[in-house]
Amino acid sequence: MTRANATPVRVGVFGLLGSGNLGNDGSLEAVLGYLRAAHPDAVVDALCGGPEVVTSRYGIPATRLHWYRGEYRTASRAGAIAAKGLGKLVDACRTAAWVRRHDVVIVPGMGVLEATLPLRPWGFPYALFLLCASGRLLRTPVALVGVGAAAIGNRSTRALVRWSARLAAYRSYRDAQSRDAMRAMGVDTRDDAVFPDLAFSLPTPRAGGPAGPPGLVCVGVMAFHGSDDDRARAEEIHRRYLDGTTRFVRALVEDGRPVRLLTGDACDAPVVAAILDAVDSPLVTAATTSSLADLMAETAAADSVVAIRYHNLICALKVGTPTLALSYAAKSDELMARMGLGAYRHPAREVDADRLLEQFRALEKDAAGLRRTLVERNLAAARQLDCQFAALTTALFPAAHHAHALREAP
């Protein structure tokens, strides 16, 4: 796919990619798959959190998102504070210069318009605002594709997110509550569409892979401390979540069930270590995963899955494994309802191991019916994402859309 002057279209992808979060990287992988299939001549590069990882894993050039390398470390000394402040000014110039080199910029999925986890306004929200403002000023369309959004309490974060969304040339959301949240924050969403999460377009592992031990349960864990509005209670929330999850894993082991612990971000490793130490059983092991494909393979080998991270849930649902969500945000509730498992949710902030065990046993009792439901819902999600990518081509690549229309004309 090329522009009228026969030079390849230059596409930039932007976000906290290559930084250890498997869900974010899965969204990037989905968009790269779309570009390579629908626009194979496009020249793609990234402005992202982990450029070395993105380049080595996905084969595209990448630039570091922030000039100041200590952007996400707490600054307590005067020198670090000054460097962070200077970095904000330098990043404004760097972002504009990067945007100028592109014909289109895509923000692939991710919860870029939400603060369901702790978030500082001058971190990623500011970086996203710089991107969208640069796109509007330089007439480079910025597309927020299949993103997540939620109501935001912090006024500064809310303002930056609202203006980022307003300045974007294209918006679509991964669920209806995301669109509703942006409407409530003052964004005109009349032309914005809702599609399933981009990860549902990724290839599903082929059947016949390694089988897990009989009765295997995958338990996805997370360094969960509540939302951005819960900072005052963060440690209390974390202790309650970890204690409840640990007691649930111990109960499974007492029933003789092998348990495989899954993560979705590098920061989850201490939670895995704490559970392994507390339960201390050969029946409990930890998976090593570096992609959503790895997570899908793990969940496909299990009888059942109990998980908290959003993309751990998606991986389990996509391969058709009965899944129970430890829900910490509305996005998890909506995902489970859309996939036909709305009854199988448990609050992550108030994990009650006994109640969770009851829900888990009900899940397993209904496993055959749930597997049939997931087959149907996954087929529907795949069809809807075909529509998402077709809409993206129409909105961002008009030359390619026009050529396709000519080929299809009688």
* pLDDT recorded at residue 114: 92
* pLDDT recorded at residue 193: 97
Q: In the predicted model, is pLDDT for residue 4 greater than 50?
A: no
Please tell me the distance from the alpha carbon of residue 308 to that of residue 325, in angstroms, as a whole number: 6
Q: How many CA atoms lie within 13 A of 134 on its CB side?
A: 22
Three-state secondary structure string covering the chain: CECCCCCECEEEEEECCCCCEHHHHHHHHHHHHHHHHHCCCCEEEEEECCHHHHHHHHCCCEEECCCCCCCCCCCCCHHHHHHHHHHHHHHHHHHHHHHHCCCEEEEECCCCECCCCCCCCCCHHHHHHHHHHHHHHHCCCEEEEEECECCCCCHHHHHHHHHHHHHCCEEEECCHHHHHHHHHCCCCCCCCEECCCHHHHCCCCCCCCCCCCCCCEEEECCCCCCCHHHHHHHHHHHHHHHHHHHHHHHHHHHCCCCEEEECCEHHHHHHHHHHHHHHCCCCEEECCCCCHHHHHHHHHCCCEEEECCHHHHHHHHHCCCCEEEEECCHHHHHHHHHCCCCCCEEEHHHCCHHHHHHHHHHHHHCHHHHHHHHHHHHHHHHHHHHHHHHHHHHHHCHHHHHHHHHHHCC
Please tell me the distance from the alpha carbon of residue 150 to that of residue 330, in angstroms, as a whole number: 8
User: Global pTM?
Assistant: 0.89
- Give me the residues paired with residue 358 across strands: none
* pLDDT recorded at residue 409: 45
Considering the chain, what is the average pLDDT of its residues?
A: 91
Task: Report in angstroms the alpha-carbon separations of 128 from 23, 49, 339.
Answer: 18, 12, 30
Please tell me the distance from the alpha carbon of residue 208 to that of residue 341, in angstroms, as a whole number: 25
Average pLDDT over residues 338-359: 97
Of 104, 106, 168, 183, nearest to 133 (Cα)?
168
Please tell me the distance from the alpha carbon of residue 84 to that of residue 66, in angstroms, as a whole number: 10
| pLDDT-above-90 percentage for the chain | 82
Q: Do the bridges between strand 259-262 and strand 345-347 make them parallel or antiparallel, or are there none, so unpaired?
A: unpaired
The torsion defined by the Cα of 306, 309, 310 and 315, in degrees rounded to 10, comes to -60
* pLDDT recorded at residue 207: 56
What are 227-248's pLDDT values in tens digits?
878 888 999 999 999 999 999 9
* pLDDT recorded at residue 229: 80
The size of the chain, in residues, is 410
Please tell me the distance from the alpha carbon of residue 310 to that of residue 191, in angstroms, as a whole number: 26
Average pLDDT over residues 3-7: 57
What are 289-310's pLDDT values in tens digits?
999 999 999 999 999 999 999 9
- Give me the residues paired with residue 47 across strands: 14, 63
* pLDDT recorded at residue 277: 97
Query: What CATH homologous superfamily does 10-202+380-408 map to?
Result: Glycogen Phosphorylase B; (3.40.50.2000)
More confident residue, 218 or 81: 218
* pLDDT recorded at residue 122: 86
151 neighbors 182 (Cβ within 8 angstroms): no
Close Cβ partners of 32 (under 8 Å, ≥ 6 residues apart) = 13, 44, 58, 60
Q: How confident is the model at residue 1 (pLDDT cuts 50, 70, 90)?
A: very low
What are 7-26's pLDDT values in tens digits?
889 999 999 999 999 999 99
* pLDDT recorded at residue 402: 37
Q: How confident is the model at residue 187 (pLDDT cuts 50, 70, 90)?
A: very high
| pLDDT-above-70 percentage for the chain | 90
Q: Do domains 10-202+380-408 and 217-365 have the same CATH topology?
A: yes
What are 38-53's pLDDT values in tens digits?
999 999 999 999 999 9
Please tell me the distance from the alpha carbon of residue 375 to that of residue 338, in angstroms, as a whole number: 13
Average pLDDT over residues 79-90: 74
Average pLDDT over residues 159-187: 97
Q: How confident is the model at residue 405 (pLDDT cuts 50, 70, 90)?
A: very low
Q: Where are the domains of the chain?
A: 10-202+380-408, 217-365
What are 353-401's pLDDT values in tens digits?
999 999 999 999 999 999 999 999 999 999 999 999 999 999 998 754 4
* pLDDT recorded at residue 2: 47
Q: How confident is the model at residue 80 (pLDDT cuts 50, 70, 90)?
A: low
Q: Which amino acid is at 179?
A: R
* pLDDT recorded at residue 73: 59
* pLDDT recorded at residue 181: 96
Least confidently predicted of 30-34, 117-121, 260-264: 117-121
Q: In the predicted model, is pLDDT for residue 209 greater than 70?
A: no
CATH topology of domain 217-365: Rossmann fold (3.40.50)
